Structure 1
């Protein structure tokens, strides 16, 4: 364990050439005294590490020293596989991803450090869709743990109609699609993680079909969702300054639309689907047809108003 910590300390020093002892102690999960003892041990072993006193002091390695190793942990490797910081954070791997990047920078030297800094200045990866923040998924780390352990999951699940029901599933994989997490089961089927209200990892193993391929299963499930029938035609009138935004946000629902007028023609899989998609636009759009969607939207709006009545 101490040897692993010493190597991690060297890699952190390569990634952060002016790191202070308290910062290193926090990254390694040890005390400042332990970090200073480790620095002495590294120096005695011939590693060119030294301390600088004063306001801008810290623990430093000679710039020319390189280990040539990244020495990533299992969690750090999993964090790199996810790659995006917000998604890694959802899985409880945010710190692991940060430390993996620091180790790679340390092993790669100035060129890698400069490339990463340049990339962060010029490229932002935002996984959340427009007009919607990322969904809270507090149970995702537990679900991920059950998946990695190959155990059945017992879920308290709320479906798209708001009904709660118990599910026992064999987890096969996790997919982050446009910032939304889905659990792919062995069936195969999709479970939206944000709708899981409770999760218990059972002792029974989760059996997967022979030759199960997560990418192929996801492709089939995705196609099934994307091409599901949308037979309910809905006509809305958008405010003059909201027509373009409405078309952009609901692009996949557009049907027989002229693309320019305030009248926008859409298609949905049903009334709940339409209400869920349109309610967030508030007063920017008004449904003119069919009447059942108007009625359902009014009922939902009244329920929201009642919830906040007197607030």
Structure 2
């Protein structure tokens, strides 16, 4: 780890002024990702700007017209177990609790969760080429061991995946990101926050220089009646998803009136296909219809030497999770979904 200085920001404006125009200034909150990146020399910081003392960013606030705003500094555990989240947005609670370990969730912040970087082996190995770490050097994963890598939205420059579970749920819930920066405050639809790699895989998201996430807004509709989060991984303990699925449904007389399906572990960002969700509207909630929607979601999926299995795995996961969403009680330990 390189030597660095440390300073505390007193408020949002102070934090923005410190990081604006200073590439060597990095924000730290929970530190569960950036400290690792610094230890592995993937990221270097001249100065760490601690934002933990900024007031007003650790609350969950109800919006008068409906919905809530979740503070960027509230940690993942406090968010997942908050009564409002458990009751009105259980899909988000399930997604958070599927991620990381209890110890990490106690430290990791919501804003930091959105900004975490890929766990691609080659990204962390500074002795190998990686376009995300060193643009123009090449992508070692394409011809290397790529079992955990992308099957959707990848490019010839990068096949890394975004690792967050929380963000898969946020994508399904149509969250909005609140941002403060040198030009003032703005909001960004969650679907537009993260990026696909294209020709610039070094950029994970659409934050501008000097900007800071201050909160995450959730609309009033939380799909609290019919929801499910499924994470398939190599081991049930601390492990990132091979494929994850967040599903929210609105049902009426056995038919689907609204559907949200988001995938994790398959692309450089949480993956949603609106056409597949629209296809399900006014159709019966059957395995056959969910299977047809899964085919639409996975249209164009391409695997590599070691991860082609994820295409079939993703289809089965989508169908299984949608069936589980019909009866959230099926998510309890030992319960079997009615497939």
Bigger RCO (CA 8 Å, 6+ sep): 2
Same fold (TM > 0.5) = no
CA radius of gyration, larger in: 1
Larger helix proportion, structure 1 or 2? 1
